[in-house]
Structure 1
Amino acid sequence: MELRQVEHFLAVAEEMSFSRATERAHVVQSALSASIAKLERELGVRLFDRSRQQIRLTAAGERFRGHAYEVLRATRAAAESVVEFRGTLSGTVDFGALISYGPLDVAGALGEFHRAHPFVRLRLRLSQAGASAYLSALVEGSLDLALVSKPNRFPPQLDLRLLFEEPMVFVCRPDHPLADRARLDVAGLAEEELVGFPPEFGLRRLMDEAFHVAGARPQTRYEVPAGYAAIAELVANGLGTAFMPLSEARRFPSLRPVELTDQILWRVYLAAPPPDQMTPAATRLADTLLDAAARQQD
C-alpha cells in the first residue's frame, strides 16, 4: 500500500465522485481509478459501491476511512516535526471556520500566523452543517482545528477551549412596535416571525433552547444558511425579526438591537485533537488563536 493510494481513496471518499476527486488529486481519472482498484486488490475488499448512479462507501470502506485519516495525520506530523527541527515550520492546516467570529479578530490572528510562518498553507473550510460536521471531521482527521458554536455534543477525544462569549440581542427595524423597548422577554417573542439559521447551526440551537426553557416555541419563518448580512437585509426589508450576538448587531446601524431580560450567551470554542495528535503547524495556529482571544478579553 502506498501513501498516494490512501490520498486517492480519501479524495474519492470525501467528494463521492471520481471526476471531482481527479481535480482535487491532480490526476487523470484513469490513473485515479487504477489506483483505487489496486488498493482494493491489495486489501481484498471493495471500498466503494459503484453499482448505483452515485458511488458510496462500503462497510469496509467506512472502516478503512478512519484509519486512512490517521495514516495521513501521522505522516504529516512526522514530516512537519523534521521541518520544525530544521527551524522552518511548514505543512498544511485545515481549519474549520464560522460564518461569524463575533468580537474575535480571526482574520488578524490568521495574518499574524502567516507572517510568522509563511511556509504553512492554511485551508479554510466552511460547513453548511454547523458544528456537528466539524466535530466529526476532527475526530476522523480531515480537519486540524475548528471554531464551533453551541455544539450538540462534545466528543471526549477532542479538546475544546472557550475563546469568548457575548450576549444575544433581539434585532428589528426602527419602526417595529418593539424597537423602543429597553428589554424583552424571550417568551414574549414567540409570535415574532423570525429570520434565522438552519437547525444544525449552533446559534439556532442556542435560541431554540432559550425558547424551550421559557415555555414557548419560536416561529422561524426564514432559514438562511449564510452570514448575518443576509439576515440583516431580510429584517431591514420587513420580512421578520432576528436574534444576533451583540457585536454582529452593531454592524447594522439601520436596525435596532434590544437587550433580552434573561441574558443568553453565545459561546465560541476552539476544537482540536489532543496535543499529542496535533501537527506542529496546527499547534502553533491554535496558540495564536488562543492568544488573540486572551488579548481581546483584556
Structure 2
Amino acid sequence: MELRHLVYFVTVAEERNFTRASERLRVVQSGVSAAIRALERELGVQLFDRSSQRVALTDAGAALLPAARATIDAAQAARDAVDEVRGGLRGTLRIGTLISVGFVDLPGLLGQFRAEHPGVDLRLRAAPSGSAGLARALMEGELDVAFVSLAGRPPTGLSVRILVAEPIVAVLPSAHHLASRSALALADLADEPFVDSPLGYGNRTEVDRGFAAAGLQRRVALEVADIATVPQYVRNGLGVALIPRFAVPPGDAPPGDGLTVLPVTGTRLRWTFGVATASARRQSAALRALLEMVDAHRLP
C-alpha cells in the first residue's frame, strides 16, 4: 500500500469531489482516479460511491479514513524529525477560523509564520457552520487547528486553550422601551425578537443555554453569520441582541449612534475564544510552531 495512495484517498474524502481533489493535490484527475482504483483493488473493496452529482464514502471508506489519516500523520512525524535536524519545517497546516476573529491578528500571525517557515503550506478555512462545525472537522481530522468559540466544556476529544473571555451584553435600539434601564435580566427580553448567530456558533449556544437554565424561551427572528454586523440590524429596529462586548463598536455605548448597550444581571453569560486541537492526534512540528506564535499575536 503506497502512502501516496492514502494521501489521494484522504484528499478525495475531504473534498467529496475528484476534480477539486486533483486541483488541491496538483495532480491530473486521471492520476487521482487511477490511484483510488489501485487502492480499491488492493483492499478488495469500493471506497467511494461515485455518481455525476456526488462522491461519497462507502462504509469501507469511512472505516479506512481515520487509519489513513493516522498513517499520514506518522509519516509526517518522520519527516518532521529529519526537517528539525537539518533546519526548516515542511508539511501542510489546515486551519479553521470563525468569520470574525477579534482577539488574534490572524493575517499578521499567518504572515509571520509564512515568512519564518516558507516550506509549510498554509490552508485557511472559514466556518459556515460556526464553532460546532470546526469542532467536528477537528475531531474528524479535516483540520489541524481551529480558532473557536465553544460554550461550556469542550467536546470529548478536543483540547482548547482559552485566549480570552468576554461578557455578553444586551444591545437594543436607543428608542426601545427598555433602553432607559441601567441593566436587564433575561426575563425582560424573553418576549423580544432577537438578532443572533445561527445554531452552532458559540455565542448563540451560550445565550440559548442561559435562557434554558432560566426556564425561558425566546424567538430568534434574524440569523446573521458575521457577528460584527449584528449591531447594524439592531440599530435598524429589527430586534435586540445578546452578544459579546467586543462585537459592539466602541462608539456604540450610551448614548451611542442609535444603540444602547446594557449589562445583563441574574446570570453569567460569557463568550470564550480559544485555539483548539484534537487531543488524540499528534501535533506536527509546524503546528507546534504555530501555537507558539499565537500569544504574541493576540490583540490587547
Q: Normalization by structure 1: what TM-score?
A: 0.88
* Cα distance between partner residues in 1 of 2:154 and 2:174: 39
Deviation digits for residues 189-248 of structure 1 (CA, Å, limit 9, x no counterpart): 011111111111111110001111222112101112x21233233223222222221111
> Structure 2 matches for 1:150-169, cutoff 5 A?
150=150, 154-169=154-169
1:65 matches 2:53: no
Corresponding residue SS for 2:6: helix
- Corresponding residue of 2:82: 82
Q: Which residue of 2 aligns with 1:234?
A: 233
- The change in CA–CA distance for 1:140 and 1:276 in structure 2 (over 3 A counts) is closer
Cα offset, 1:95, TM superposition: 1.4
Matches within 5 A, 1:244-255: 244-251=243-250, 253=252, 254=257, 255=259
- Secondary structure of 2:228's counterpart equals helix
Q: Shift of residue 292 of structure 1?
A: 4.5
In structure 2, the CA distance between the partners of 1:38 and 1:252, relative to structure 1 (3 Å rule), is farther
| Inter-partner Cα distance in structure 2 for 1:185 and 1:236 | 20
Q: Can you list the C-alpha shifts for 1:106-142, whole angstroms capped at 9, x where unaligned?
A: 4443344344434433221112222233223223322
Aligned to 2:125: 125
* Alpha-carbon separation, structure 2, partners of 1:126 and 1:65: 23
**Structure 2: gaps of 5 or more residues:** none
Q: Residue 268 of structure 1 is aligned with which of 268, 273, 296? A: 273
Aligned-residue sequence identity (percent) comes to 40
Q: Which moved more, 1:153-162 or 1:137-146?
A: 153-162
Structure 1: where are the runs of 5+ without partners? none
Indicate conservation of the 8 Å contact 1:22/1:28, yes or no.
yes
**RMSD, aligned α-carbons:** 2.5
* 1:15, distance to aligned residue in structure 2 (A): 2.0
| Greater mean alpha carbon deviation, residues 186-195 or residues 74-83 | 74-83
> What is the CA–CA distance in structure 2 between the aligned matches of 1:24 and 1:122, rounded to whole Å?
12
Q: Which amino acid aligns with 1:284?
A: A
Query: Which SS does the other structure have where 1:83 is aligned?
Result: helix
Q: What is the Cα deviation at residue 59 of structure 1?
A: 0.8
Offset at residue 83 of structure 1 (A): 1.6
**Residue aligned with 1:277, SS:** coil
Alignment length (residue pairs) = 294
Letter matched to residue 263 of structure 2 = E
The TM-score with structure 2 as length reference comes to 0.87
User: Structure 2 residue aligned with 1:256, among 256, 260, 277?
Assistant: 260
